[in-house]
Amino acid sequence: MSHSGGVTAFFFRPPEELRRYFTTFYCVEFSADEVSDHFDYLHPEWANMRIVNGGKLVAENRSGTQVGETGFFFTGPSSQAVRFGFDRAFRMWGIGVLPLGWAKFFRTDAALWADVLVDGHDDAALTEFSDLAKGLFRGPADHEAELERICAFFLDRQHLPVVDEARILAIHSALVDPEVDSVAALVERAGISQRTLIRVCQRAFGFSPKLLLRRQRFLRSLAKYVLDPSLKWIGALDSQYHDQAQFVRDFKQFMGMSPRQYGLLDKPILTAVMRERARFAGKAVQGLDTPAGGGS
């Protein structure tokens, strides 16, 4: 548990039967002393369900899609930042879905949901997850009971088949290895053809292999900086970057702003959550988790 600036973050490991399908389950509580406008940015990540109780949250992606006044925010695998604003206290459960989890629990290509932001209660494809969201909060806050409901929901669906499981795991393992720095290296490490790599990435990961590799080096740099801003950006650069200019181009593509602009922002939620996640799971962002899941 971490408490900072009115933000308290709790992280939980999924039960063993579910650990390969999810990053972590986590609960964030924000207590505001007074009503005021706050905002923060979600970095690129795997698909995520965010179930909210209280408060007034509004999320907006780079394409201009805005979702608010809902208890269920759903984002597909992302390569661009999502801006979200809030003006009062809230509780929020997050469920991070690993690529293998997407292949198991979703019956569509992840690429069709890439950088998608929707109200989960309004999308027919998310009806069963909407039911989970509607029944999650019952009475006073109770982490154990709420966590049990989340686990029970997915444990009841363990029977669902997974296509290309071995290939997904092989690709994921290669992606999180900093030594894998090209599509050719990814193909070799995964032990599959480039055509198969592209197909499986579209189905379970949401993006092309080249973009996924770029996202990984960016996330490694971002996580290092957030955990230790004294490094400055130059000290946080991943070894795969040829120079700072290349990193700045990536940063603008993924976050929609320069590293300097991002560094000057107040990030009340994400900084606290990333630091607690690093303490709990060993990785500050879910995109760096291994196929074994967060904290494994």
* Residues 135 and 103 grouped into a single domain: yes
* Residues 109 and 89 grouped into a single domain: yes
- Compute the distance between CA of residue 239 and CA of residue 261 in angstroms, rounded to an integer: 23
pLDDT at residue number 130: 98
Regions of the chain short of the pLDDT cut 70: 1-5, 32-37, 295-296
17, two tokens: 């039967």
In a domain, 276, yes or no: no
* Residues 71 and 212 grouped into a single domain: no
pLDDT in tens, 259-275: 999 999 888 788 889 99
Domain that holds residue 64: 2-155
pLDDT at residue number 89: 80
- Compute the distance between CA of residue 167 and CA of residue 247 in angstroms, rounded to an integer: 30
How many domains does the chain contain in total? Answer: 2
* Residues 123 and 174 grouped into a single domain: no
* Residues 130 and 204 grouped into a single domain: no
In a domain, 210, yes or no: yes
pLDDT at residue number 54: 84
pLDDT at residue number 33: 58
* Residues 142 and 22 grouped into a single domain: yes
Q: Residue 144, class by beta-carbon neighbours within 10 Å (0-12 exposed, 13-18 middle, 19+ buried)?
A: exposed
In a domain, 92, yes or no: yes
* Residues 139 and 206 grouped into a single domain: no
Among 25, 154, 148, smallest CA distance to 93 is for 25
C-beta separation of 167 from 200 below 8 A: yes
In a domain, 26, yes or no: yes
pLDDT at residue number 267: 84
> How many C-beta atoms surround the C-beta of residue 215 within 10 A?
23
In a domain, 51, yes or no: yes
In a domain, 279, yes or no: no
φ/ψ of residue 231, rounded to 5: -65, -20
- Compute the distance between CA of residue 61 and CA of residue 81 in angstroms, rounded to an integer: 7
* Residues 88 and 66 grouped into a single domain: yes
* Residues 145 and 174 grouped into a single domain: no
What single string gives the DSSP state of each residue in 162-218?
Answer: -TTHHHHHHHHHHHT-TT--SHHHHHHHHTS-HHHHHHHIIIIISS-HHHHHHHHHH
In a domain, 222, yes or no: yes
> How many C-beta atoms surround the C-beta of residue 153 within 10 A?
18
In a domain, 216, yes or no: yes
* Residues 96 and 123 grouped into a single domain: yes
